[in-house]
Homo-oligomer: A and B are copies of this chain.
Amino acid sequence: MIEYRNLRVALLGAGSVGSQVASLLLEHRDELANRVGAGLDLVGVAVRDMDAARDADIPKELLTTDAESLILGSDIVVELIGGLEPARTHILNAINSGADVITANKALLATHGPELFEAAGQVGAQLYYEAAVGGAIPIIRPLRDSLAGDRVQRILGIVNGTTNFILDLMDREGESLEQALKTAQDLGYAEADPTADVEGYDAAQKAAILASLAFHSTVPLESVYREGITGITHEQVVKARRAGFVIKLLAICERLTGPEGQDGVSVRVHPALIPDAHPLAAVHGANNAVFLEAEAAGNLMFYGAGAGGIETASAVLGDVVSAARRHVAGGPGVAESAHANLPVLPIDAVTTRYQITLAVLDRPGVLATIATEFSEHGVSVEAVEQHAAEVRPGAASTATLVIGTHEATESSLAATVAALKASDVVSSVESVLRVEGL
């Protein structure tokens, strides 16, 4: 039945994902051969330390520390080392030696994507990266192929499992940010140094990748606006829930019209309030989901495990099979393209709704003073809620105001907040949160 020669697959890295990829390639050998129409030979696994402990067993004789030799002569190279170097050099070497490349390396793609895609395009090689965003969730292929005839307007993504796990614990178990982070670390959902996750760096890389693909444009990582979750308090989460919202760390990619009327996109990562009936509000634990609005298709959502060795290995293997089928079928594949070339607009160009919580002096005329600050800066107030005044002996009594705005620009909102901070009647600006998904 199968007449095509076996294809040589090289694996770089044998961490939690790599060892599962090796194990599945060996275990499902016959089934994969049937699906591809050619056998897939795992010819070697490049590692730094031959004796390190692995999540899944890999036959000793496949291990090597010589990645360079392994790459030469392979048909398909799977890069699962992570980080910028030597991953970048290995991938360029693989492409130039005529191999197709599969990678899950979001940092590398967000930083050096255009260079890698150009190198691949020049020799007609393919670069697959389904596992770089959303772990096991098919999102790259639907964006690249299924929606290729549509126009994506907006993506709201929960693309970092660690922060979703933490925010979900704060919401559902009443934990503080510190407690929830500790729990996440104890359970292996967060690393000892959690900066990349909690400060939104990981999500920003994924946002850059999604936006490049959805908008057919180059989106440099530096152009992604980024705020993490370290400013989020348990009190904010509780108040949000009471008001019918959930706080999620969102990666947002949207088409926008810039201040001079030019077409552009906004790509940003920040915590936001979303209504509790929104499909993203039901994404619990370390799961990921990408909610997408397209001109013709309407609203779509893709949901699943955003991380995990074996789950991510599934996405990697899907790419291996795609690459292998292309070898068997022949012909170059589909090249990436940034033909639309939309500029990434600064965060100041974004309009969204806000919820602002203020501690104010509890005396007549305060609300009028505050309302004037909003209107003078061009921010329209949609709703005001006043909470019980707190009376402390010897101190002026204060009240809490929660103000919801209509759509406003970041810059006018920032000017409003600055004015409020300087105002005599405002004791403190307790929180400023964006509202998405209405």
Contact = CB atoms under 8 A, between A and B. Distances in A.
Given A34-B340, A316-B149, A299 B294 contact: no
Q: How many chain copies does the complex carry?
A: 2
B216 A35 contact: yes
A258 interface: no
Given A304-B299, A333-B329, A314 B147 contact: yes
Contact of A303 (B136, B150, B300): B300
A308 interface: yes
Contact of A304 (B34, B148, B300): B300
Interface string A147-173: 111110000000000000000000000
Given A311-B297, A334-B329, A141 B145 contact: yes
11 contacts: A31-B151, A34-B340, A35-B339, A136-B296, A145-B318, A148-B317, A149-B317, A150-B318, A294-B314, A296-B313, A300-B302
Contact of A296 (B20, B31, B298): B20
Contacts of A340: 31, 34
Contacts of A315: 146, 297
Contacts of A427: none
A433 interface: no
Nearest to A282: B282
A316 B329 CA distance: 23
Contacts of A318: 145-150
Across the A-B interface, the 3 shortest Cβ-Cβ residue pairs: A331-B331, A149-B317, A138-B146
Interface in A17-61: 20, 24, 28, 31-32, 34-35
Interface string A122-145: 000000001000001110011001
Interface of A: 20, 24, 28, 31-32, 34-35, 130, 136-138, 141-142, 145-151, 216, 279, 282, 294-305, 308, 310-311, 313-322, 325-326, 329-334, 337, 339-340
A313 B298 CA distance: 11
A314 B297 contact: yes
Nearest to A298: B305
Contacts of A295: 314
Contacts of A147: 138, 314, 318
Contacts of A325: 148, 334
